């Protein structure tokens, strides 16, 4: 699918961006959302949070309710009217908006509108690295972490190296590769509700692999994954702490 000219302009540092908060962050991890906004502000970006935004529509689409998903998608397109980048602190929601909005409206009157909207969507860490070219100064104590890349972030947004490059900028942070990074944690939104036994087995494999890294924290860019992994770690009595990368970066200190 050809991308509109808007994509070309987004490689230059913008004066302002929209911020899409996501449902899971809004309800369970507001600190992660605020941290992402603060990282952008510290780069001199004006961050606009449209109050009329809501769900990206992924739960409806994944459950086969396409008409309902389209209604939700149209609501989001109306909430972000100006031609500014839309930064999303979740590869999952970003993947829905960037990859699936055009598919939802293919052959329908709002198709071109959906394509133009999707071209403005950026996952947070990719935006920090590829558009803002952020540099970080580590002011925190030594810590060992491992990275969990979500399925949608890797496979729909193509975000693999960007978050790791941010973590590797931090002098006192040791990043240990997760040997099963490319495997799903088992959450999958409605999948974990419909197939709880399979989901539990998958997250069991995931936390075993994470523990083998010896890391004190597992960092990710998707709070749905963190909720699932964190719950499994807590139930198993593990000491490893789950944390969104935006909160982790802000906690470590930031500067040029």
Top-tier CATH class for 134-252: alpha beta
- Radius of gyration of the chain from its Cα atoms, rounded to whole angstroms: 18
- Round to the nearest angstrom and report the end-to-end CA distance of the chain: 38
Supply the pLDDT for residue 149: 93
Supply the pLDDT for residue 12: 81
CA angle 165, 169, 175 (to 5 degrees): 70
Which parts of the chain sit beneath pLDDT 50? 1-10, 255-256
Top-tier CATH class for 6-130: alpha beta
Query: pLDDT digit string (tens) for 124-169?
Result: 999 999 999 999 999 999 999 999 999 999 999 999 999 999 999 9
Supply the pLDDT for residue 3: 39
Which regions of the chain carry the CATH code 3.40.50?
Answer: 6-130, 134-252
Pairing of strands 143-148, 173-176: parallel
Supply the pLDDT for residue 210: 96
- Short-list 79, 89, 86, 82, CA closest to 39: 89
Supply the pLDDT for residue 8: 38
CA distances from 249 to 1, 87, 172 (A): 34, 17, 12
Supply the pLDDT for residue 2: 35
Residue 246 burial (CB count, 10 A): 27
Which secondary-structure segment (H or E) carries 68?
A: helix 66-79
Supply the pLDDT for residue 77: 98
Supply the pLDDT for residue 85: 98
CA angle 105, 61, 181 (to 5 degrees): 115
Supply the pLDDT for residue 1: 36
Supply the pLDDT for residue 11: 61
């Amino acid at each position: 699918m050809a991308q509109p000219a808007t994509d070309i302009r987004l490689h230059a540092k913008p004066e302002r961006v929209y911020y899409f908060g996501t449902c899971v962050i809004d309800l369970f991890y507001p600190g992660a959302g605020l941290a992402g906004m603060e990282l952008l502000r510290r780069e001199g970006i004006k961050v606009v949070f449209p109050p009329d935004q809501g769900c990206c529509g992924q739960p409806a689409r994944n459950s086969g309710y396409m008409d309902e998903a389209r209604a939700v998608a149209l609501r989001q397109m109306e909430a972000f009217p100006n031609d500014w980048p839309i930064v999303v602190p979740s590869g999952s929601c970003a993947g829905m908006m960037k990859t699936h909005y055009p598919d939802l409206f293919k052959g329908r009157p709002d198709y071109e509108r959906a394509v133009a909207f999707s071209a403005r969507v950026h996952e947070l860490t990719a935006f920090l690295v590829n558009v803002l070219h952020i540099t970080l100064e580590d002011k925190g104590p030594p810590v060992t972490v491992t990275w969990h890349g979500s399925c949608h972030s890797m496979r729909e947004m193509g975000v693999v190296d960007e978050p790791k490059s941010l973590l590797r900028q931090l002098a006192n942070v040791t990043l240990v590769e997760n040997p099963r990074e490319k495997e799903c944690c088992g959450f999958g939104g409605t999948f974990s509700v419909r197939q709880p036994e399979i989901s539990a087995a998958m997250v069991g494999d995931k936390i075993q692999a994470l523990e083998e890294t010896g890391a004190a924290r597992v960092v990710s860019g998707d709070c749905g994954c963190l909720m699932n992994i964190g719950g499994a770690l807590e139930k198993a009595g593990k000491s490893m702490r789950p944390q969104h990368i935006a909160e982790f970066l802000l906690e470590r200190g930031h500067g040029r």
